[in-house]
Amino acid sequence: MSLQVRPVRADELAAAWELGRLAFGGPEEAPASALREVPGVTRLGAFDDAGRLVGKITDLPHEHWWGGRRVVSSGVSGVAVRPESRGGGVARTLLGALLAHARERGAAISTLHPTVSAVYRAAGWEVGGTLDAVHLDVAGLPGPRDTGAVQLGPGGAADLPRVTDLYEQVARVRDGLLTRRGGFFELDPPDTPLPRGVDAVTLAEVGGELTGALLYGRGRGYGPEGHLDVGTLVARDPATARALVGVLAGWRTVTRTVRVPLLLGDPVSQVLPLERAERRSGEAWMHRPVDVVRAVATRGWPAHVRGRVAFRLTDVLAPWNDGTWELAVADGAGALTRTAAEPDLTLDVRGFAVLYCGAATGRAAAQAGLAGGNGDPAALDLLSSGPRAQLLDYF
């Protein structure tokens, strides 16, 4: 079977939705966002010889913070193949087409949430981290107390741009977090009152300046079955974090548990009684470079790190990445240049991904079969010299 991969037309969006519903068991009625074209969002379809849609994939124009700089990314979403066409390479064809498209529009990296990791590993993606959350007994949270200069109040849809600005202040000092602008974050119509699943917004201010925000869903029922689901909980300082966690604690009379996204090392995680977590959940997310030169050049690097390392990179699905390279890092910047000499080290594109995310050392990558050669793979630690990447968003 030959395949034609092209953008899905507006009159084909309903068929694409039905394919996704069949694959993932979604609701029968499509949300409005699935049936309209969204600027910057590209939906690619694979069509067979008869013109039937047999597979689809979505390229979300995301950006991630990396070393204090925005890195253009392809958020891979909605990958679905008709049952009769599975196992025939449709998904791999779509992934290759998405990489070429994403590179053409300027993307440097790509992230996704896998339903089956083997398909994406075969195409060069590898696990870069987990999307973590803790489930806590509301009664065990630190209760409300005098918050001093922190003023709490309700918020609404009109405050969401301010919340995004605040989130950016928290996110930009870390590696991996999305900017939360464009792409997936603009799929809902602009007149949507609040994001899906959000019933209440609490804002924290100090001296009239926004320092924290809490967005959460109330759920149903009260008593033992009562449950809160936090979508966003960001704070710029410990006092604000304590005040917002105190708001959650105030629900103890009618709710039993609360799910809170976990960002290790932030002010909120230092307030939560993590040792009392009823359970902790984590969903793997995967990463790969779209264009290795851009991936290195557009991110920030630790200012104290200096060094050079050469390696042969293997990338079958993105041949523009394949070949011999030298990585140079100095003064907070990095560059990747082609080399003629054969290096002592080899690196699979999946190894590049885990090192770039700070998820492994060079020697650990070698143990996993993602690096090799005659040289000491510890030299590849230069590529993993930043902090470990984290992610807070599912898409």
Which pLDDT score is estimated for 26? Answer: 86
CB atoms within 10 A of CB 218: 17
pLDDT of 274 over the 80 cut: yes
Instruction: Give the confidence band of 279 by pLDDT, cuts at 50, 70, 90.
Output: confident
Average pLDDT over residues 333-338: 98
Which pLDDT score is estimated for 190? Answer: 58
d(CA 105, CA 103): 5
Which pLDDT score is estimated for 189? Answer: 60
> What residues have CB less than 8 Å from 314, skipping those under 6 apart?
322, 346, 347, 348, 349
CB atoms within 10 A of CB 282: 12
Q: Give the domains, in start order, of the chain with CATH numbers.
A: 4-107 (3.40.630.30), 142-272 (3.40.630.30), 290-384 (3.30.1050.10)
In this prediction, what percent of the chain has a pLDDT beyond 70?
97
Q: Which amino acid is at 227?
A: H
With beta carbons less than 8 A apart as the criterion, state whether 56 and 8 touch. Answer: yes
pLDDT of 114 over the 90 cut: yes
- Please name which of 112, 227, 119, 175 lies closest in space to residue 390, comparing C-alpha atoms: 175
With beta carbons less than 8 A apart as the criterion, state whether 245 and 268 touch. Answer: yes
Which pLDDT score is estimated for 64? Answer: 98
Instruction: Give the confidence band of 354 by pLDDT, cuts at 50, 70, 90.
Output: very high
The length of the chain is 395
pLDDT digits (tens, 9 = 90+) for 185-237: 876 665 667 888 899 999 999 999 999 999 999 999 988 889 999 999 999 99
Half-sphere exposure of 288 (CA within 13 A, CB side): 30
Angle at 131 between CA 42 and CA 367, to 5 degrees: 100
In this prediction, what percent of the chain has a pLDDT beyond 90?
87
Which pLDDT score is estimated for 188? Answer: 65
